[in-house]
Amino acid sequence: MPELPEIEHLKRSLEPTLVGAAITRVLIKRPDVIHHGESGVSQPIKKRDLLHKRTITRLDRRGKQLAILTDGPAICIHLGMSGNLRLVCASDRPPRTDHVHCKWHWSSSATQGTMLFRDPRRFGGIWVFSSEAGLLEHRWRDLGPDALTIRSSALHESLARSRRPIKAALLDQRVLAGVGNIYADESLFAAGVHPQTLAASLKAATVSKLAQCIRQTLRRAIKAGGSTLRDYADANGEQGWFAVQHRVYGRAGLPCTRCDHPLTAAIVAQRSTVFCPTCQPVRHP
């Protein structure tokens, strides 16, 4: 499900409700999806680790990860393939509760309600930290620059050392944080770069174009509320509409929107990949 645009949209949909709210109750239904983010801690996770009795000061995002911050402990939520966070107010029709692994009750001067972490496939999880500094030091330190603001110089530098196909490099969160399978294919199409091109062989001008296309693709997707394929919804259960703008993802065999040539399917970096063989020619360095 969720890549950078979905997480950014989710963050924006949570902020008005959560920032300034106090966590009044925490329910842990599946302890095995919650982890200590700081090494060397082996005690079981306690409710206070999950912000019980704390006031939320801020939300933050790096790549596909969402942080909920207080003036003390912090948590980092990763949605994996099938995770989501959902806000429920007392008056709402209750959403499905199967595969809900953690539940928070929050209360603010304006209102109160519940936030659910649901993740059927359990590729996601929650990491707890004693402070924001702990999160930055132990979990976000290894993430590359955020894809929404990636600069071509930074991208060029890390690609120069990589002998992988460019698509594999874009999916590597240490190179660039936030791009997944959908937006890798969409960005490569927008930049006219073949997904199998060796990363290090890209010229500076091409990397510059690619960086620009990545930023633009992600910005447009955020504006559309992200890509809903099956499950994704924001904190209020609303779908995203960027999927209707996909140029290549999910369109194998269909005509290219630019040249009408049929789009090609391939496996790159163990992931299904769609591209236009005409608009994204193989380049020989």
Q: Which residues bind DNA (CB under 7 A)?
A: 1-3, 6, 63-65, 78, 80-82, 98-99, 120-123, 161-165, 168, 171, 173, 180-182, 227-232, 269-272
Catalytic residue among 2, 5, 165, 195: 2
Q: In this complex, which beta carbon is closest to DNA, that of residue 59 or of residue 81?
A: 81
In the complex, minimum distance from the CB of residue 106 to DNA, in angstroms, rounded to a whole number:
25
Q: In this complex, which beta carbon is closest to DNA, that of residue 14 or of residue 21?
A: 14
Distance CA 208, CA 115 (A): 40
Q: In this complex, which beta carbon is closest to DNA, that of residue 23 or of residue 79?
A: 79
Distance CA 15, CA 188 (A): 32
Give the closest residue to 64 by CA, choosing from 177, 151, 184: 177
Give the closest residue to 92 by CA, choosing from 73, 74, 68, 116: 116
Catalytic residue among 61, 64, 86, 103: 64
Annotated catalytic residue 195: no
Annotated catalytic residue 271: yes
In the complex, minimum distance from the CB of residue 33 to DNA, in angstroms, rounded to a whole number:
11
Catalytic residue among 209, 220, 271, 283: 271
Q: In this complex, which beta carbon is closest to DNA, that of residue 121 or of residue 258?
A: 121
Q: For residues 280 and 195, is the Cβ–Cβ distance under 8 A?
A: yes
In the complex, minimum distance from the CB of residue 111 to DNA, in angstroms, rounded to a whole number:
28
Task: Give, in order, the Cα–Cα distances in Å from 42 to each of 131, 134, 222.
Answer: 17, 16, 38
Annotated catalytic residue 15: no
Annotated catalytic residue 95: no
Residue 261 CA, chain-centre distance (Å), reads 31
In the complex, minimum distance from the CB of residue 230 to DNA, in angstroms, rounded to a whole number:
3
In the complex, minimum distance from the CB of residue 19 to DNA, in angstroms, rounded to a whole number:
24
Q: In this complex, which beta carbon is closest to DNA, that of residue 80 or of residue 277?
A: 80
Which residues is 85 bridged to in the sheet? Answer: 117
Active-site residue list: 2-3, 64, 271
